[in-house]
Amino acid sequence: MADIENQVWVTQLRHLKRLLAAEDSAAFRTAFFELHNWEQSQFFLSLNRSERLALYDVLTASEVGNFFDDIDDDDEEMPEYLAEMRPEFAASMLTEMYTDNAVDILEHLDQPTINRLLAQMPHQPALDMRSLLHYDDETAGAIMTTEYIAIAANQTLASAMYALREKADDAELIYYVYVLDNAKHLAGIISLRDLIVNDQETMVQTIMNERVISVQVTDDQESVAQTIRDYNFFAIPVTDDENHLLGIITVDDIIDVIDEEAVSDYSGLAGVDVEDTTENPLKAAAKRLPWLVTLLFLGMSTASLINHYESLVSEASILAVFISLITGTAGNAGTQSLAIAVRRLAFPDQERTFLRSLFSEMVTGLVTGLVTGIAVTLVVGFWKHSFILGFVIGLAMCCAIIVANLAGSFIPGLMARLGFDPAVASGPFISTLSDLTSVLIYFSIAQYFVASFIH
């Protein structure tokens, strides 16, 4: 079914491109507007520069703005798209977009270009965009929109419905209507259902919900995402320190935040930007090499440590057989612990302190280490007919897993407390660090028992 849908979509793309190339504007517009806005955006992204220039001649700035709302603002070619448009066309297009989406695009441009575009916009949209551009990245202010519906507490539902009809076209979401007092403070909230089912002569303040869950404009976007997730909101109001309503954050923006944070965390765990799947091989190599070279030198420490115990390995060569088994298992355990720690930090449990989390991970490491250690003791004991050797391997593995678990939990927690991104403590780093500690543990234990299993 998916293959059939994909073939249909490819056929549609080719048909639209043929109409665009043939300069059949009427037929193109008819076929183009049968597509959903997201499909229109995907068609745009499939075009080359000359095709895009032809598209700007066929569509109005408002029509382009409608589907630009559905283009990922992180697209690296976004500055190129705006540069190839006429300045007045680009400014008009941005004005037609939702303010928060337009600001996300402007953030990719240099300041002179931003100033030129804003200068060609109507006063109020330009003012709204300038205000949003001042907020720090990854805060509530940076992802909120100023296109919401607000009414006064001392008006009737009939007049509120009139205001809703007047502003609905420009609002990003109309399910919630926010109520302001005379000082423009956020005083309450009314749902669209409340406006419809109640008597139209009822005063807003008599039926509004005065308990409004809101976020501060400086709150981190992750905490905003957690609040919306916890309360199952479609949107949440954003206020300043004096409870003035500044904007709202809608659930579609939160989905983007969750996606960004997930990609960021996974990139950290992998030690590479997993979002750049189509990147130039040379650029991809340039981004990966710093981590790989750093880990190479850390790995050399492990090699040096093994070299330090060269005489022990020469005396009991059987020890070399199990080095990769112990380091690999410890590395896997450390990566598991790291993934849990990063996830826990992304959605913190207020009742779980750092030390409590560390203790919990230590107990987990102890249980998994004991079970794994006992299992490998028995396997090696029967395999090599030496339960002393099995005990050495099992004990080393148990201790290595406990240490790896603690490192995987402790390092991201420490980095978060120091103000760094905990995902930077990547999986490859923890694995390499686990190699170093597990080799040290392994040979430290083995040297005390070496005489017992050498025949």
User: What residues form DSSP beta bridges with 249?
Assistant: 236
- Determine the Cα–Cα distance for residues 388 and 365; give it in Å rounded to an integer: 23
pLDDT in the model for residue 274: 52
Least confident of 8-22, 179-193, 288-302, 355-369: 288-302
Query: Which DSSP category does 148 fall into?
Result: -
Give me the residue label for tokens 């419809």. 196
pLDDT digits (tens, 9 = 90+) for 84-105: 999 999 999 999 998 888 998 8
Average pLDDT over residues 180-189: 91
**Cβ atoms of residues 90 and 117 within 8 Å:** yes
Contacts of 194 (CB under 8 A, 6+ apart): 207, 208
Q: At what angle do helices 387-417 and 354-384 cross, to 10 degrees?
A: 160
- Determine the Cα–Cα distance for residues 255 and 176; give it in Å rounded to an integer: 19
The fold of the 281-453 domain, in CATH, is Tetracycline Repressor; domain 2 (1.10.357)
Question: Does CATH number 3.50.50.60 belong to domain 150-259?
Answer: no
End-to-end CA distance of the chain: 65
pLDDT digits (tens, 9 = 90+) for 401-428: 999 888 888 887 777 676 666 655 566 7
Query: Looking at the predicted structure, is the pLDDT value of residue 162 above 80?
Result: yes
35 half-sphere exposure, CB direction, 13 A CA radius = 22
pLDDT in the model for residue 423: 58
pLDDT digits (tens, 9 = 90+) for 192-238: 888 889 999 999 999 999 999 999 999 988 889 888 988 888 899 99
What's the pTM value of the predicted model, to 2 decimals?
0.64
Q: Where are the alpha helices (DSSP H) in 107-234?
A: 111-119, 123-133, 140-143, 157-167, 192-197, 204-207, 221-231
Backbone angles phi, psi at 96, to 5 degrees: -75, -20
Average pLDDT over residues 58-64: 93
Q: Do domains 150-259 and 281-453 have the same CATH topology?
A: no
Q: Burial, 54: exposed, middle or buried (Cβ in 10 Å; 0-12, 13-18, 19+)?
A: middle
Q: What are the sequence ranges of the domains in the chain?
A: 2-134, 150-259, 281-453
Backbone angles phi, psi at 191, to 5 degrees: -85, 160
- The identity of residue 252, as a single letter, is D
Q: Which architecture, in CATH terms, is 2-134?
A: Alpha Horseshoe (1.25)
